[in-house]
Amino acid sequence: MACVEGTTGADLAPMTPLKSGEKELEEEQDQSSSLQAQPDSVRADNELSNKSRLQKQLAALMVILKMPGVKLAQLSQQLQVCLQDQLSERPGLQKQLAALTVLLRVPGSRFTELFEWLKARYSATTLFLLGSVLAQTAASWCSGLPIMAIERYAPQLIARYKIQPNKIQPTRRVLEMLLDVGGTQLAGAAVAVIVQKLKIPAVDRVAERSVSAPLPSFPRVLGELAVNLLSWEVVFYTMHRLFHTQKLYRQVHKKHHTFKAPVALASAYATNVEHVFGDLFPGMVGSALLHIFANSSVVNIWAWAAFGSVLTNINHSGYYFPWFPFRECTMMHDYHHYSFYSQLGLFGWMDRLFGTDGGADYVKWRAENLRRILGRSA
């Protein structure tokens, strides 16, 4: 009986309290089990409530930034559905669009075949150096010579568009200029050949990367031309303004200003120093940046070399062609040769920024020329 009573007393004795550590562990286990039992949406809300204020703001910003993309994707899908509906109703139009698509792809596929043939036949350095020189030279003569020939042998065709109608350059001076320009371009080709023969590792690496880059789409070509034009405006203005300082003008830039009323190919009539630092360097900055940061193709370099040559030739032509998109550049640069100092840039942005745009004098001179050429002042 005593044994039974002792056992019963031991069983009924109060339990010893848990230690503090054990109690905390038990509470954490209860919380984790309760969290696991919660639905996913509730857990997500709890996690969001635990985030800091900055994290919430960043999350909200990400949602806002994604909205235009979502809307654009929805709009694109709606347009595709609408277009498909229209085409299904007009089978003739569908065939015409298919034929047009094929025609538009033909030049790209032909050029791809030609480019692959050039890569198989010539080294990357040859395509990079000599290809760029040939693109610039061909574009220069093919755009400048016809304008000068019309001006010389059939001036009545474009006489009304001449900005300085009373200025006619002597034949001897024009021939001297043409020989000088041709000699400079031949010298540039010779330098390209020499650099290629030297097999400079840095040049070879740049050429290999440029030639191996994917061929650009037409929008990509236009985009890179825009970047090159913007960089050219800044760098060309800077170098051009330096060449008009008292120390550098007589030794470096005076030769180019022999033509007070410029002619097309006189755009390349300059000293060797000006060719390197006033023409080549400003034109290379944009291409170099695109090569480094955007993996630009050598095709874009060829396109820029050709386009830049055509643009500078027309800017020096002395003619304000109303249909030419950059006609104001021609007007501004003609005024530069006329006035000697004002309008040092390409688009006039840097000139307006630094106060070298000619001010009221240029505005009056431009209005007088437009009134005569177009029959109106603006």
Using alpha carbons, list the distances in angstroms from residue 163 to 333, 338, 362: 11, 10, 13
Residue 298 and residue 133 in contact, taking contact as beta carbons nearer than 8 Å: no
Helix (H, G, I), strand (E, B) or coil at 323: coil
In sequence order, the 6+-apart residues with CB closer than 8 A to the CB of 22 are: none
Is the torsion defined by CA of 269, 272, 277, 279 positive or negative? positive
Q: What is the pLDDT of residues 94-141, one digit of tens each?
A: 777 676 666 556 567 888 999 999 999 999 999 999 999 999 999 999
Calculate Rg over the CA atoms of the chain.
Answer: 36
Q: Which residue has the tokens 């089990």?
A: 33
Q: What is the arithmetic mean of pLDDT over 305-309? A: 97
For residues 115 and 111, give the distance between their C-alpha atoms in angstroms, rounded to a whole number. 6
Q: Is the pLDDT of residue 202 over 80?
A: yes
**Stated pTM of the model:** 0.73
Q: What is the pLDDT of residues 15-31, one digit of tens each?
A: 444 444 444 445 555 55
Q: What is the pLDDT of residue 35?
A: 45
Using alpha carbons, list the distances in angstroms from residue 223 to 212, 220, 293, 299: 20, 5, 14, 13
Characterize 41-79 residue by residue with b for buried, 16 or more Cβ atoms within 10 angstroms of its Cβ, and e for exposed.
eeeeeeeeeeeeeeeeeeeeeeeeeeeeeeeeeeeeeee
Helix (H, G, I), strand (E, B) or coil at 319: strand
Characterize 141-154 residue by residue with b for buried, 16 or more Cβ atoms within 10 angstroms of its Cβ, and e for exposed.
bebbeebbeebeee
Q: What is the arithmetic mean of pLDDT over 209-227? A: 95
For residues 49 and 300, give the distance between their C-alpha atoms in angstroms, rounded to a whole number. 52
Q: Is the pLDDT of residue 6 over 50?
A: no
Nearest CA to 115 out of 223, 225, 220, 215 is that of 215
Residue 177 and residue 265 in contact, taking contact as beta carbons nearer than 8 Å: yes
User: Which tokens in the block code for residue 50?
Assistant: 């635990």
Q: What is the pLDDT of residues 165-197, one digit of tens each?
A: 988 889 999 999 999 999 999 999 999 999 999
Q: Is the pLDDT of residue 305 over 80?
A: yes
For residues 327 and 14, give the distance between their C-alpha atoms in angstroms, rounded to a whole number. 103
Q: What is the pLDDT of residue 340?
A: 87
Q: H helices within the chain, ranges in order?
A: 2-12, 20-37, 40-50, 53-89, 91-121, 124-153, 171-198, 201-212, 218-243, 246-248, 272-274, 281-294, 298-315, 327-339, 349-354, 359-374
For residues 336 and 41, give the distance between their C-alpha atoms in angstroms, rounded to a whole number. 70
For residues 331 and 342, give the distance between their C-alpha atoms in angstroms, rounded to a whole number. 12
Residue 203 and residue 298 in contact, taking contact as beta carbons nearer than 8 Å: no
Q: Is the pLDDT of residue 162 over 80?
A: yes
Q: What is the pLDDT of residue 65?
A: 67
In sequence order, the 6+-apart residues with CB closer than 8 A to the CB of 13 are: none
Helix (H, G, I), strand (E, B) or coil at 162: strand
Q: What is the arithmetic mean of pLDDT over 187-211? A: 96
Q: What is the arithmetic mean of pLDDT over 338-355? A: 94
Q: What is the pLDDT of residues 55-97, one digit of tens each?
A: 766 777 777 766 666 666 777 677 778 767 776 777 776 777 6
